[in-house]
Amino acid sequence: MEAETPGFTMQTPAATATQPGLYVRQTSGLVRTVGPRTALFANLVGMGIIVNYFWIVFASAGYPNANLVTTVGIGVLINLGVGYVYWMLASSMPRSGGDYVFLGRIFHPSIGLGTNLLFTVVFVTWAGYFAYYTAIYGIPVTLAAWSVAGGGGPALAWAATLSTSTADQFLVGIFVLLLVVLLSLLPTKWIFRTVVGIFVVSGIIYIIMLGTLLTTSQATFAADWNAGNTAANSYAALTASVAGTTGITIAGTFLGIVYTMLSFIGYANSSYYGGEIRGNPTRTQGLAIFAAPLIFAVLIAALYAATYATFGRNFLIGVSINYVSPGSTLTAVPSPLFLVSYILHGDPVLAAFLSFGLILTFFGFALVYFIVPTRNIFSWSFDRILPTAFAKVSRNGVPWVAVILLAVASLIVLWVGVYTTLLSYLSYSNFGFWLAVGLVCLGGALFPFLRPQLFKNSPRIVQARVGRVPVITIVGIVSWIAAWFVSYAASTATYVEPSGAYSYAYLLFLPIVFVVGVVIYWISRAIQMSRGVPMDLINKELPPE
């Protein structure tokens, strides 16, 4: 029989449909175009190498007793453990779908689908929401930075208009999403070339920003800030407003890791498009999944340290609390990407370019977290949990039906985010995310015992042991506990509900999504089994490459 080309559907005689080892298509149709460096850059874009210049505002306001530099050290240890588990599982099962394939083959496909659906809902929401963030934060901050640095008052007025006009926000969001969708329909190599381009420009902004901060004293910034603000918002007033409340504590620092951990999310993204990784998957995923947290930790530790050194930790906490408080009179989100515009007075182009990094970061998030769930849906369809139409690929290896489906879903998310408050049900997304990550780590720990033959057939590095105990079991157990601690920290009222009141409807939303995924699997299984499709055999095997 002739070799299959991407997108070609092989017709299998009905008489052989119940035999093991047979899928309707003998290859996935995806094209292996992603190399090690590209996968690494894509994972780092999904993490956002300068996004902590934005999250630091909310981390400082919510956790005034945390030392954010220290949270990086805690966070990298946890994420190296989680990254190791994902690396080993992606090496053993190098297929698209990530944890859907991992947990589906280790535990049960219903568990795999429930976990993967939870992640997919979060990712699709992020794709739509970060398009919205471009409108309400990215563009206004860039315009405000241009204005403050000497670009004139009109830009500040435009920023204020965009920050309050839902119609304009929706239009900007649609533009961002349409660009994401169009890029996602291109051959995979062009999608990832775009991602590499985002990484390069973000890296340039990171270097310039860091250099600017390291060569500016607190006294210089304080004088520049005072020259552009009222006495009520002076450097001394904002610093004094939090006097006596910002002492660093161990408990505050451990609970304060949530925004740092939120930033670490993304280094396992390459496991979801494992069917498009070329070369040795162990080497590629090792660089992309395991090395990414190390690189990222160095970048954000330097970012936090330089930010504290130039602006002052107490000022940053004071200005952040002022911003999130009702009646704030601050010009824009006091992200360091905006604060630096006071230092760069007289150079509005450079000030706007640095703040443009926020727009670029949000666009990168929207793109990466759009691509990942398309591969999840493809995997579900390839295993016949969804109709096989969703596994259709173009001749360039793009799952175009899944792309169109998620385009509609992302536009709905955007509309909901702009015009309703329903996305509040994802207020605890960090809680649900790390709950699911812990389940993946537990699966990794039990992998050698629940699927001994698959473990035995895995690459030698996956089978590494300390004495008689597999390394993946040791690391998996520790990472499982750590991930669930992060999940707990992200469920506290401090993180989500400053008023101190829990919203259990919001808290339980993503666990309910997990249960819905389990139910969907069993319904789909019953339907397919009634048609003679051997679901039990399919789900015990790895999908074709």
Per the structure, the complete domain to which residue 237 belongs is given by: 32-417
Smallest CA-to-CA distance from 262 within 122, 382, 384 is with 122
The mean-pLDDT minimum among 31-35, 124-128, 247-251, 367-371 falls in 31-35
Confidence of residue 6 (pLDDT cuts 50, 70, 90): very low
CA distance 432 to 513: 10
- Could you give the residue ranges of the DSSP H alpha helices within 276-347? 281-285, 292-311, 313-324, 336-343
Residue 109's domain is classified under what CATH number?
1.20.1740.10
pLDDT given at position 501: 59
Query: Is residue 212 over pLDDT 90?
Result: yes
pLDDT tier at 455 (50, 70, 90 boundaries)? Answer: very high
**pTM across the whole model:** 0.87
- Domain assignment present for residue 471? The answer is no
Is 240 a domain residue?
A: yes
Q: HSE on the CB side for 412, CA within 13 Å?
A: 9
Q: C-alpha distances in angstroms, 304 versus 133, 307, 311, 316, 455?
A: 22, 5, 11, 11, 41
pLDDT class for 498, splitting at 50, 70, 90?
low
Do the domain assignments include residue 462? Answer: no
Residue 458 lies inside a defined structural domain of this protein = no
Mean pLDDT of the chain: 87
Q: How far from the centroid of its chain's Cα atoms is residue 96's Cα?
A: 17
Q: Quote the tokens at residue 416.
A: 């909901």
Mean pLDDT within 438-450: 96
Lowest mean pLDDT among 36-40, 488-492, 508-512: 488-492
Q: By the 8 A CB rule, do 439 and 510 touch?
A: no
Containing H/E element for 453?
A: helix 452-456
Has residue 363 been placed in a domain? Answer: yes
Computed from CA positions of residues 492, 494, 495, 497, in that sequence, does the dihedral angle turn out positive or negative? positive
Structure tokens at 17: 């449909």
Secondary structure element (H or E) that encloses residue 465, with its range:
strand 465-466
- The arithmetic mean of pLDDT across residues 520-524, rounded, is 95
Position 15 pLDDT exceeds 50: no
Residue 494's pLDDT is what?
Answer: 60
d(C-alpha 348, C-alpha 220), whole Å: 18
415-437: b or e for each residue (b if 16 or more CB lie within 10 Å)?
ebbbeeeebebbbbbbbbbbbbb
pLDDT confidence of residue 7: 33
Q: Assess if residue 327 is contained within a domain.
A: yes
pLDDT-derived band of residue 523, with 50, 70 and 90 as boundaries?
Answer: very high
Cβ atoms of 29 and 393 closer than 8 Å? yes
Mean pLDDT calculated for residue range 413-421: 89
The phi-psi region of residue 467 (left if phi > 0; otherwise alpha if psi is between -120 and 50; otherwise beta) is left
- 111, part of any domain: yes
The answer to whether the beta carbons of residues 432 and 258 sit under 8 Å apart is no
**pLDDT over 50 at 13, yes or no:** no
So what's the pLDDT on residue 28?
60
Q: Is 289 contained in some domain?
A: yes
Nearest to 409 by CA among 166, 135, 123: 123
Please give the residue that has the higher pLDDT: either 534 or 354.
354
Whole-number pLDDT of residue 391:
86
How many structural domains compose the chain? 1
Q: Would you say residue 22 has pLDDT above 80?
A: no
pLDDT at 2 over 80: no
